[in-house]
Amino acid sequence: MFGMELAKAKLNQPGNYKYAYLRDIRFDGVVQGDPYLDRFSPNVFLNLTSDDDLNALYIKNKTDINIFSKKDTLEIGMSHSKKSRKSRYNKYQIDQGQGDKLTVNIDTIYDNNVRNNTDLFSVNIAFRPAYWYDAEVVENAVYLQCLLNPVDALEVNFGLRSVDFSQTLYEYTNNEDVLQPIEIKPNTLDLKKTLPNLSLKYTLNPKSQFDMAYSQTYIVPDLREFADAEFFHPYDVATVKGNPDLVNTTIDTFDLKYSYFFSDTEGMKAGAFYKKLNKPIEDVMLRSSSLPRYGFDNAKEATIYGFEFDGRKELSFVSDYLNGYFVSGNFTYANSDVTLRKEQEALYTTNHRQLQGLSKTILNLAFSYESDERSITFSYNKMGERIRRVGIIDGNDEFPDYYEVPPSLLDVVWIENFSDNLKAKLKLKNILDQETVWYQGSKSNITNRYKTGRSISFEASYKF
């Protein structure tokens, strides 16, 4: 068996505006007056384009080997993928001249002054070569996977995957000298590794089974994470500095799970897991004398352990009127412990804490109606708080970790099947529209709170 994929993706954001209103606060904390825009307010115009190309192919062959049973197989395969990107990010500073504080909404300000071409605002180029980059990611892999059934109740699946990975970022730079010509410098991350996996499935009876699994995987830094450059944050009033010394993260995962099936479409599962991360990548704060600066760093190691439950059940056991109505959900508890490198202990505020970006709890619930003609699903999601950025030590000052409290999410999806060929879908997302809250150190020190807004979408499709 073989396959091939050719894909292109284009991103074009021609006009993004980023601004911030200021407020006057007395020494006793009392806010005075309305929020306003003046010449000290952040006010920028941004545009972004990105062109991505993907070329991928795979070849695989599965052979019956019949060592213990007729179900025994050996599969051998190889894959190749090549991704390329050209990203162009331009920034223009909208500078406000001397004048009164502007308290009306931003659309009115722009309409009265920018559109009417008054002298209040001037647009100046704030471009830095680091805002542009090209990239290329190449991965070649060969694998071997074997499935054996030593006895009827036991299924053993094991294999190896050999990976040859290369990621190159071509950075534009003038070496921080505006009088020097812009040059392109490559920054490459290579990885060659053999990754094992093993899983055991023991069937107790037709309705229940045990699963055990071990696997090794890897994560590489994002393209901009290991860039040797500093650039403006896309949506925060801050700068971001890449780290060219980042290395990949290796993850060893152990899973144990018990499953019970009420029917082909209903069941429940309970399991425990343990993960060992070597050199996990975290978002961190950097020392700064002005705007906040963000960066990335590899910790020494981290462990994640916890348990999870999930299930799905039709409500027909309550009443025949509830045929086709289902409840489902899953809950995950994940505790973690991060160990810093020795030299990081004097740089970052906390050691042996939760892994940055990981919520301890994740809850998903759904209530749905399903039939041949339609399906309606109400889904709810709630994630526990998590560390946004690891705090930093700057001289005698220790700045606590930054946290995020995610909102509760409620979505509705309605799918109507008018015929075998004609289908319509309606989506209502983020119905609750709760706030996302950021705080530093304690919840009494809130640094930001915002809402993303509700959304609605409709689509119709017809198969010929």
Q: Which residue has the higher pLDDT, 420 or 83?
A: 83
Question: What is the per-residue pLDDT for 118?
Answer: 80
pLDDT at 229 over 90: no
Residue-by-residue DSSP string for 54-83 = EEEEEEEEEEE--SSSTT-EEEEEEEEEEE
Q: Which residue has the higher pLDDT, 97 or 10?
A: 10
Q: What is the pLDDT of residues 256-274, one digit of tens each?
A: 999 999 999 899 999 999 9
Question: What is the per-residue pLDDT for 25?
Answer: 80
Which pTM does this prediction carry?
A: 0.86
| Least confident window among 76-80, 223-227, 433-437 | 223-227
pLDDT at 284 over 90: yes
Pairing of strands 409-417, 374-383: antiparallel
Q: What is the pLDDT of residues 118-130, one digit of tens each?
A: 888 888 888 888 8
Q: Is 263 exposed, middle or buried (0-12, 13-18, 19+ CB in 10 A)?
A: exposed
pLDDT at 378 over 80: yes
Question: What is the per-residue pLDDT for 381?
Answer: 98
| 204 to 28, 149, 271, 373: CA distances (angstroms) | 68, 15, 16, 37
Pairing of strands 239-241, 293-298: parallel
| Least confident window among 228-242, 291-305, 401-415 | 228-242
Q: What is the mean pLDDT of the chain?
A: 92
Q: Which residue has the higher pLDDT, 240 or 331?
A: 331
pLDDT at 331 over 90: yes
Question: What is the per-residue pLDDT for 26?
Answer: 77
pLDDT class for 31, splitting at 50, 70, 90? confident
In DSSP terms, 241 is beta-bridged to: 230
Question: What is the per-residue pLDDT for 62?
Answer: 95
pLDDT at 275 over 80: yes
Mean pLDDT across 24-53: 84
Q: Which residue has the higher pLDDT, 21 or 297?
A: 297
| Least confident window among 29-38, 129-138, 289-298, 383-392 | 29-38
Residues 6+ apart with CB under 8 A from 39: 95, 96, 97, 98, 99
Cα separation, 204 vs 212, whole angstroms:
14
Tokens of 273: 């897991």
Residues 6+ apart with CB under 8 A from 218: 163, 165, 191, 193, 195, 248, 249, 250, 251
Most confident by average pLDDT, 29-43, 122-136, 213-227: 213-227
pLDDT class for 17, splitting at 50, 70, 90? confident
Q: How many CB atoms lie within 10 A of CB 234?
A: 13
- Cβ atoms of 200 and 154 within 8 Å: the answer is yes
pLDDT at 322 over 80: yes
Which has the closest alpha carbon to 11: 42, 65, 47?
47
Q: What is the pLDDT of residues 85-131, one digit of tens each?
A: 999 988 888 888 877 788 888 888 888 887 777 888 888 888 888 88
Question: What is the per-residue pLDDT for 266?
Answer: 95
